[in-house]
Structure 1
Amino acid sequence: MFAGCGGIEAETAPESAPSTAQQQAPILTQTNVDVAQECTGILEFANKASYQILDRFLPSNVVTNIVNRRATAQFTSLADLSSVTLVGPTRLKQLEGGARTLDYIDADCVGIMDGLAISRDDQTAIVALVNSIDDSELHDVLPNAWNGAVNLLGHRPFTTAQQIADTTGIGDVSFRNIRNSATLSRPLEALFAAVNAIPSNGSAGVTTLRHFDWWKIATASHYYENEKVCFGLEPSSVPRYAKVRPNLADSAEVIAAVERSITGVNGDVTISPQVLKAGRDNLAELTAGRSFKGCILSYGDDPWSRHNVSIFVDTTTGFSVLAETWWAE
């Protein structure tokens, strides 16, 4: 299915995580972002604090390594910091502690966990997502952490992102995927909310969704079904009576389906131009060069209506989009 000074202490740097895109306010668009805007003071502290100041929070040999490295290039990410010899998770937390003590960061930066420095807004979004996400979407977001997904579902609700990061089966890669799913698509979700808020005219309407249970939607039975075409699913996950096409969906197909929904509600006129542009740009960025599994459904609950539903799920990140148009006589 779809702290203080100490002696020399060697420490292994965390296993690197694959790069995926992140979005937050203010929007960060680089695919390798691992520091929320509210937490960039951690990097500023590492880049600007004197040797004597850093030596209050880190072993002297670690400080020497950091100072020597920054003399050649400023640190731009936690991954960059972690590339310094002897800098691993413990040293990053000590850097965070120094940055917080000296007011480089404040409560808007929750802190570093599993290789990411997250903000208070990030934490809110992460907790909300994990507490509400459907089984099918969570397993798509965590394709290589099945046990971690099961443990999250079994132990929610959570109140902090640290509790989620500490869940058995959730490591750096999984936590990054969760963060991305929770914060990646804020402009797109704002656009979808605007589309869905426009009342239907009684004979036609649309629905756009970012988080949904695709398995439940794709396998639902309807009395009048015209067509169900799926692609990229494991054989055991293909809904009953669905046709299977060989090619996956690409960015153009996903964008076209979303645009049909926007056009269906005359969105270019009724939706704020700023929301419309930001959402479209966000969707284009998140889908560029990606491949999607999913299903295209056409059905009716009576002879006088028709629903056309397009479901797309990124085969690597689990990023998902649903676009539906419907009409009734």
Structure 2
Amino acid sequence: MRRLGPAFLAVSLFAGCGGSEVPPSSEPIAQQEARLTGTDVDVPPECQGILTFANTASFATLDAYLPSDVVTNLVTRRASSPFVSLADVSSVRLVGQARLEQLAGGARAQGFIGSSCVGVLDGLAVSTDDAAAIVSLVNTISDSELHDVLPDAWNGAVNLLTLRPFTSVQAISNVAGIGDVGLRNIRNSATLSRPLEALINEVNLKGDWGHGGATMARHFDWWQVVTTNGRYQYGGLECFGLEPSSVPSGASVRPYLADATEVRNEILNTVSSANRNNQIPSSVIAAGMANLDALTAGRSFKGCYFGYANDPWSGHSVAIFVDTVNGFSVMTDTYWAE
């Protein structure tokens, strides 16, 4: 089985699709918004006009794009507190996916959003930059990583792999098995680690210093990395957090997961190995590590450590970490050669 660890239950943040209406959420707004703090927001800057439209447009203007009873509910709610997210808007009675799309359509028609905002898909507002990143990721991601990104949407993952390549994020959203949580997980995987990926690129460009160095990866096929055969030497394979059926042959299993501190220390050590001549800009390192901290705080990780050599005169030490819930993954490789 090409999978690191058990599946975890993901709870849908939104309800309703097509023309159907859904009852209001019984969950307090504060709890809904708690999930959207930090980097995991549901409205990118390019689409903020949707919320501005919902908060400021007159009853008559909103009524041109939405049913009157929905407008009444929106106006009544915003009078007590402005909308701060699509999840917040969706908590209003009679507002489901169809109404969010109509709201976005009105915002576009009234000039609140432009061409840089694709619109609302599966309860998530998507910018054109994010859409391009999502399409690129889905078209290139490995089987093992995609199933970690979509731990509770295996059918959706299989369908994506079968139907790709895609040319639009709308087509990805339309795939059976990809809903609110699935699209959000894919968006997060494609977009939320950009500063870290910039640091990884610098490490890979400048991390070779003759008789050694370091490389890193953000998107990779962990199964292929761990199980590749034909190396001169293979040793020290230690894994953690894996389902028994996923433990590679010959691996030892430690009884505890990795935490944010362990991941940070490994990445910082790898960056230091690559940056022996101080050729990586300090601003890139600071931004990348801050991004890593934001993505790993309070999280738990499964993965493996191992060493290998392609010949008797070199050696590699590899570490792989995968978030147990959302599939965020990172790999480090430090190496030496005589």
Asked whether the two chains share a fold, i.e. TM above 0.5, the reply is yes
- Aligned partner of 1:26 in structure 2 is none
Distance 1:302 1:197 in 2: 23
- Aligned partner of 2:115 in structure 1 is 107
Deviations 1:63-83 (A, max 9, x none): 111111100000000010011
> Shift of residue 267 of structure 1?
6.1
Distance 2:234 2:155 in 1: 36
Deviations 1:177-199 (A, max 9, x none): 11110011011001100111115
- Aligned partner of 2:165 in structure 1 is 157
Matches within 5 A, 1:58-137: 58-137=66-145
> Residues 160 and 267 of structure 1: is their aligned pair in 2 closer, same or farther, counting only changes over 3 Å?
farther
Deviations 1:286-306 (A, max 9, x none): 111111110001111222211
Amino acid at match of 1:282: N
Distance 1:161 1:226 in 2: 42
- Aligned partner of 2:16 in structure 1 is none
- Aligned partner of 1:254 in structure 2 is 263
Deviations 1:29-84 (A, max 9, x none): 72541011100000000000011111111111111111111000000000100111
> Residues 321 and 20 of structure 1: is their aligned pair in 2 closer, same or farther, counting only changes over 3 Å?
farther
- Aligned partner of 1:140 in structure 2 is 148
Distance 2:182 2:140 in 1: 17
- Aligned partner of 1:55 in structure 2 is 63
> Residues 18 and 269 of structure 1: is their aligned pair in 2 closer, same or farther, counting only changes over 3 Å?
farther
- Aligned partner of 2:329 in structure 1 is 320
Distance 2:281 2:56 in 1: 42
- Are the aligned partners of 1:13 and 1:89 in contact in 2 as well (CA < 8 Å)? no
> Shift of residue 156 of structure 1?
0.2
Distance 1:303 1:99 in 2: 64
Distance 1:169 1:80 in 2: 24
| Counterpart among 230, 240, 257 of residue 231 in structure 1 | 240
> Shift of residue 256 of structure 1?
1.0
> Shift of residue 10 of structure 1?
7.2
**Normalized against structure 2, the TM-score is what?**
0.90
Count of residue pairs brought into register by the alignment: 317
Distance 2:299 2:215 in 1: 23
- Are the aligned partners of 2:207 and 2:273 in contact in 1 as well (CA < 8 Å)? no
> Residues 125 and 200 of structure 1: is their aligned pair in 2 closer, same or farther, counting only changes over 3 Å?
same
- Aligned partner of 2:21 in structure 1 is 11
- Are the aligned partners of 1:19 and 1:31 in contact in 2 as well (CA < 8 Å)? no
> Residues 208 and 264 of structure 1: is their aligned pair in 2 closer, same or farther, counting only changes over 3 Å?
same
Amino acid at match of 1:38: E
Distance 1:267 1:21 in 2: 39
- Are the aligned partners of 1:248 and 1:293 in contact in 2 as well (CA < 8 Å)? yes
CA-based RMSD of the aligned residues comes to: 2.1
| Counterpart among 309, 312, 315 of residue 300 in structure 1 | 309
Distance 2:129 2:213 in 1: 33
Distance 2:264 2:306 in 1: 17
**Normalized against structure 1, the TM-score is what?**
0.92
What are structure 1's unaligned runs of at least 5 residues?
Answer: 3-8, 23-28
Amino acid at match of 1:306: G
- Aligned partner of 1:286 in structure 2 is 295
Deviations 1:156-211 (A, max 9, x none): 00011010011011111111111110011011001100111115122101111000
> Shift of residue 266 of structure 1?
1.8
Amino acid at match of 2:241: G
- Are the aligned partners of 2:33 and 2:88 in contact in 1 as well (CA < 8 Å)? no
> Residues 301 and 98 of structure 1: is their aligned pair in 2 closer, same or farther, counting only changes over 3 Å?
same
- Are the aligned partners of 1:21 and 1:31 in contact in 2 as well (CA < 8 Å)? no
Residue 269 (structure 1) aligned with residue 278 (structure 2):
yes
> Shift of residue 226 of structure 1?
2.6
- Are the aligned partners of 2:203 and 2:275 in contact in 1 as well (CA < 8 Å)? no
SS in 1 for 2:216: strand
**Where has structure 1 moved over 4 Å in runs of 4 or more?**
13-22
> Residues 282 and 57 of structure 1: is their aligned pair in 2 closer, same or farther, counting only changes over 3 Å?
same
SS in 1 for 2:64: coil
SS in 2 for 1:280: helix
- Are the aligned partners of 1:14 and 1:115 in contact in 2 as well (CA < 8 Å)? no
